Amino acid sequence: MIQQLASIDSVEQVSEVPLLGASLAQLTKWVEQYGQPAYRGKQLHQWIYQKGARSLLDISVFPKQWRAELATFPIGRSQIHYQAKALDGTIKLLLKLTDGQIVETVGIPTEKRLTVCVSSQVGCPMACDFCATGKGGFKRNLERHEIVDQVLTVQEVFGQRVSNVVFMGMGEPLLNTENVLEAVRSLNEDIGIGQRLITISTVGIPGRIRKLAEHHLQSTLAVSLHASNQSLREQLIPSARQYPLDALLDECRDYVKITGRRVTFEYIVLAGVNDGMEQAIELAEHLRGFQSHVNLIPYNPISEADYQRPDQRRLQSFMDALKARHVAVSVRRSRGLEADAACGQLRASYANKV
């Protein structure tokens, strides 16, 4: 982006890449192309990221004539198409993108935090058997501005600063690494969300975890493991056929080595499928001595699959078995169930809301 902008020397050639997601340095270069002084870049940055400007026409500190000239240049904000609030305060938003596609994002408030669960793609090609998004197929990658927009929008809807971001909405972030990384940079530097408070969740794409490690992010990597052996994993996650469990775990070990950060393993708990004592022992074997943390996610029901949620006792025994084998483990509390906003429930259920 920087190189692209630097090579532009006349206004006519200014690229139409939406501004959202651009850094202060990039915005400064951008205003300078119009012959404006550098401080306009700072103003632009503030209006986009702090004041929530949706159009350059809104920026009242800019000269009128210049504003008129910029009127149609995209900042890159999406429209709220629909919102649903669950009893626990979780809000699911459907955002309409400029090409009419709809993407889902979820704001999850707790006493001290406001977490946004962002999407990285419209739909998802991974087709995991328990996931509503996967059942709906894949449309396209999200651009960086469409990711950053989700966080700004949740911030506006809640009237509160976002503290945490998890890439656990629709899509597979490591199939869209470049835009995800640009968005992470922007969330961190432009919006001020600590890198450590940003989590990227992946089901694993061969070679991509190692590649991500080379960026030395301080963010957390969460890996959707969901099974204690290869054949069970293949049953649940079709893409696992091309990615043996051992190879995935090796890459995760490299990630820890390269970044010095532990990995979180997500494990969706499906009653009678992967929650037996045998699987707990097998999982603990794989993770022995591994600098990691297991996050158990009780299955959130979706209409397209007939898995069952585990009962409390079974979940507790599974957790106890891991703990007894020195595996760090916690259970993720489901949020937003009634708004269909819990993990795996994000889906194109908006057809009737259009």
Position 302 contacts ligand SAH (CB under 6 A)? yes
Using CB under 6 A, pick the residue from 273, 294, 343, 348 that binds ligand SAH: 343
Which of 41, 98, 66 lies closest to 57, judged by CA?
66
Quick check: 239 binds ligand SAH (CB under 6 A)? Answer: no
Q: Rounded to an integer, what distance in angstroms lies between the CA atom of residue 297 and that of residue 343? A: 8
For residue 283, the minimal CB distance to ligand SAH (Å) is 15
Nearest Cα neighbor of 334 from 343, 344, 323 is: 343
Please select the residue that binds ligand SAH; options are 153, 224, 274, 279, rule is CB under 6 A. Answer: 224
Active site residue 131: no
Report how far residue 197's alpha carbon sits from residue 312's, in angstroms, rounded to the nearest whole number: 29
Which of 153, 202, 220, 264 is close enough to bind ligand SAH by CB under 6 A? Answer: 202
Nearer to ligand SAH, 119 or 259 (CB): 119
Least CB distance from residue 207 to ligand SAH, whole Å?
Answer: 16
Identified binder of ligand SAH from the candidate list 53, 118, 122, 203, rule CB under 6 A: 203
Amino acid (one-letter) located at 341:
A
CA distance 269 to 290: 21
Task: Determine, following the binding rule CB under 6 A, whether residue 108 of this chain makes contact with ligand SAH.
Answer: no
How far is Cα 328 from Cα 290, in angstroms, rounded to an integer? 10
Residue 119's closest CA among 354, 352, 348, 351? 348
The question of whether 104 is a catalytic residue gets the answer yes
142 makes contact with ligand SAH (CB under 6 A): no
What are the angstrom distances between the C-alpha of 251 and each of 215, 264, 284?
A: 15, 13, 18
Smallest distance from ligand SAH to CB 295, Å = 8
> Per rule CB under 6 A, is residue 266 in the interface with ligand SAH?
yes
- List the catalytic residue out of 117, 128, 252, 343: 343
Please pick, among 12, 16, 104, 128, the residue that the annotation labels catalytic.
104
Which of 56, 118, 154, 168 contacts ligand SAH by CB under 6 A? 168
CB 98 within 8 A of CB 153: no
Rule CB under 6 A: say whether 130 interacts with ligand SAH. Answer: yes
Nearest distance in Å: CB 280, ligand SAH: 18
Q: State which of positions 312-341 bind ligand SAH (CB under 6 A).
A: none
N- to C-terminal Cα separation, the chain:
35
Measured CA to CA, the distance from residue 331 to residue 13 in angstroms comes to: 52
Tell which one of 172, 182, 190, 275 touches ligand SAH (CB under 6 A). 172
15 within 8 A of 8, measured Cβ to Cβ: yes
255 sits near ligand SAH (criterion: CB under 6 A): no
**Do 151 and 140 form a contact (C-beta atoms < 8 A)?**
no
What DSSP element (H or E) covers 295? Answer: strand 292-298
Of 26 and 202, which CB lies nearer to ligand SAH in the complex structure?
Answer: 202
Nearest to 301 by CA among 348, 337, 351: 337
Q: Which residues contact 325 (CB under 8 A, 6 or more apart)?
A: 280, 281, 284, 288
Q: Which of 28, 300, 318, 335 binds ligand SAH (CB under 6 A)?
A: 300
As measured in angstroms, the least distance from the Cβ of 152 to ligand SAH is 21
Q: Which of 30, 47, 299, 318 binds ligand SAH (CB under 6 A)?
A: 299
Residues that bind ligand SAH (CB under 6 A): 128, 130-131, 168, 172, 201-203, 224, 266, 268, 297, 299-300, 302, 343-344
Instruction: Please identify every residue annotated as catalytic.
Output: 104, 343
